[in-house]
Amino acid sequence: MRALVFLLLVAVASAKMYERCELARALKADGMDGHGTSLSGWVCLAYHESRFHTDAKNSANSDGSTDYGIFQINNRWWCTDGKWNNNGCGISCSALSNLQTSIRCAKHIVNNHHTGIRAWVAWVNHCQGDTSSYIKGCKL
């Protein structure tokens, strides 16, 4: 029982809602600038996928899959929650409430998915053009 309480506290403690510039700084520090897209492209993606919430969860996908974390990484292909057999990032979906875990998985997706950053529909629909406004004034 104590282990379960500890795990729940760790999960809650790692969930966070970032401010735009705070997220930009964190993503830059973890090497996301130019990794599949520009830093502003990643901030744009996080905004359109989760509104900068690391614990975001979307179960409304037409195939019955669920998206997790700040980048809304899908359980059908990239993480495990017990529903699907694929686990491309080798992680539990609940671990995606941690920004660094989401970053590692997003890098893996960009490097190992045949479409790269285009794996995210939100990037295709909202972040392909000039995204410089997403990091404007952030003093990076």
User: For position 124, which CATH number holds?
Assistant: 1.10.530.10
Each residue's pLDDT tens digit, 19-74: 999 999 999 999 999 999 999 999 999 999 999 999 999 999 999 999 999 999 99
User: pLDDT value at position 13?
Assistant: 53
Residue 54 contacts residue 16 (beta carbons within 8 Å): yes
pTM of the model: 0.88
Quickly state the pLDDT bin for 10 (edges 50, 70, 90): very low
140 belongs to a structural domain: no
Q: Is 133 helix (H, G, I), strand (E, B) or coil?
A: helix
93 belongs to a structural domain: yes
Task: Count CB neighbours of 74 within 10 A.
Answer: 22
Active site residue 67: yes
- Rounded to whole angstroms, the Cα distance separating 55 from 67 reads 10
Residue 40 contacts residue 27 (beta carbons within 8 Å): no
Residue 15 contacts residue 55 (beta carbons within 8 Å): yes
99 belongs to a structural domain: yes
Average pLDDT over residues 73-80: 96
Active site residue 49: yes
Catalytic residue, from 19, 22, 33, 49: name it.
49
106 belongs to a structural domain: yes
Give the total number of structural domains in the chain.
1
Catalytic residue, from 63, 67, 81, 130: name it.
67
79 belongs to a structural domain: yes
- Rounded to whole angstroms, the Cα distance separating 9 from 11 reads 5
User: pLDDT value at position 15?
Assistant: 83
Q: Is 140 helix (H, G, I), strand (E, B) or coil?
A: coil
- Domain span at 90: 2-134
Distance between alpha carbon 5 and the CA centroid of its chain, in Å?
Answer: 25
78 belongs to a structural domain: yes
Residue 43 contacts residue 131 (beta carbons within 8 Å): yes
